[in-house]
Amino acid sequence: MGRDFSYHPYRTRLKVSKAKAGPAYQREVKSKRSSEFLHEQAVRLRQRVSFYFGLIVAAYLFYFLFYSHYFTVSNFNLSGNFNQPQEEIIGVVKQALAEKRRWLIFPQSNYFWLSKKKLQDDFQAAYVLDELAIDKDWPNSLNLTLVDRVGQILLKGENNLYLADPDGLITREIPGKDMVNTALPTVNIHPSSTLPVLNENWLSKEMARAILEIYNDFAKYELPGVEIAGFKVDEPKENLLKIVTKQGPEIHLDIKASLNEQFYKLKRSLAAGKIDLSKAQYINLRVADQVIYK
């Protein structure tokens, strides 16, 4: 036995000579090192297996939640007030969902990534709606509630569209002049007329209410063979309102006079066969007790 004083002058350490260590001791040390090595290898192997297994599970869950058909919106429940065919409305919704992606990766049609605001904006680009309420129904359904802008008037300029309330106040400006499938009364603005301004009255209250009354209750006037295609307003502050008919001629009205009396004159003239709608260019009902046409 020797003594090693290299660490501290007052501390002694026993130092066993390798030459004096027996074979049993050396085998024990070697066996212990082998066991530790095998244990470390087993731990690393378990860690690798756990990592790759977790990665596979995460990838599967990622695909299942965001790309599988189970969470792809495919069922649509439509309710509310609408005049277009249900298949057409649902078709617009499906197209908006199919063409959009979130973060360039996730499909807009996925239940978790569906953006109600984006779907509303895309839908209103095709339809003038007051509300498109969207409720998601687990796991792949949408409940859609549509409400038309009842009592609203659509004004069509050269480049833009405008919405007016029943008092003629401009409530919304819509870029673009083409709007399809609207059930609102449409007024064509004369090219020389001043353009509407948001939050200001363009139509007078009397003009706006006359347009809505004629559009909503036109059947009560009992004019055989006459159908409304739209309206024209040359000067919004004047009393002249022009009805554009599907048959061709325009009907000129004075909104300050009785609408019932003016339409009754036309009804009698049509019943008597005095006016051929296919040949007439306009019918003026603004002169008392007369129907002037050309």
Backbone angles phi, psi at 143, to 5 degrees: -105, 115
Give pLDDT tens digits for 87-113.
888 888 888 888 778 777 888 888 888
pLDDT greater than 80 at residue 124: no
Section 66-88 average pLDDT: 83
Question: In this predicted structure, what is the pLDDT of residue 209?
Answer: 93
Q: Which of 37-51, 170-184, 217-231 has the lowest mean pLDDT?
A: 170-184
Contact 200, 169 (CB under 8 A): yes
Spell 85-116 as b/e; 16+ CB within 10 A means b. Answer: eeeebeebbeebbeebeeeeebbbbbbebbee
pLDDT tens per residue, range 137-173: 999 899 988 776 667 888 888 878 888 888 999 888 8
**Residue 187 burial class via C-beta count within 10 angstroms: exposed 0-12, middle 13-18, buried 19 and up:** buried
Radius of gyration for the chain, computed over Cα atoms and rounded to the nearest angstrom: 40
pLDDT tens digit string along 111-120? 888 888 888 8
Return the bridge partners of 160, or none: 175
Residue 12: pLDDT band with limits 50, 70, 90: very low
pLDDT (0 to 100) of residue 56: 92
1 confidence band (pLDDT: 50, 70, 90):
very low
Burial class (CB in 10 A: 0-12, 13-18, 19+), 246: exposed
Q: How far apart are the first and last CA of the chain?
A: 136
More confident: 123 or 231: 231
CA distance 60 to 45: 22
* Secondary structure of the chain as H, E, C letters: CEEECCCCCCCCEEECCCCCCCHHHHHHHHHHHHHHHHHHHHHHHHHHHHHHHHHHHHHHHHHHHHCCHHHECCEEEEEECCCCCHHHHHHHHHHHHHHCEECCCEECCECCCCCHHHHHHHHHCCCCEEEEEEEEECCCEEEEEEEECCCCEEEECCCEEEEECCCCEEEEEEECCCCCCCCCCEEEECCCCCCCCCCCECCCHHHHHHHHHHHHCHHHHCCCCCCEEEEEECCCCCCEEEEEECCCCEEEEECCCCHHHHHHHHHHHHHCCCCCCCCCCEEECCCCCCCEEC
Q: What is the pLDDT of residue 149?
A: 65
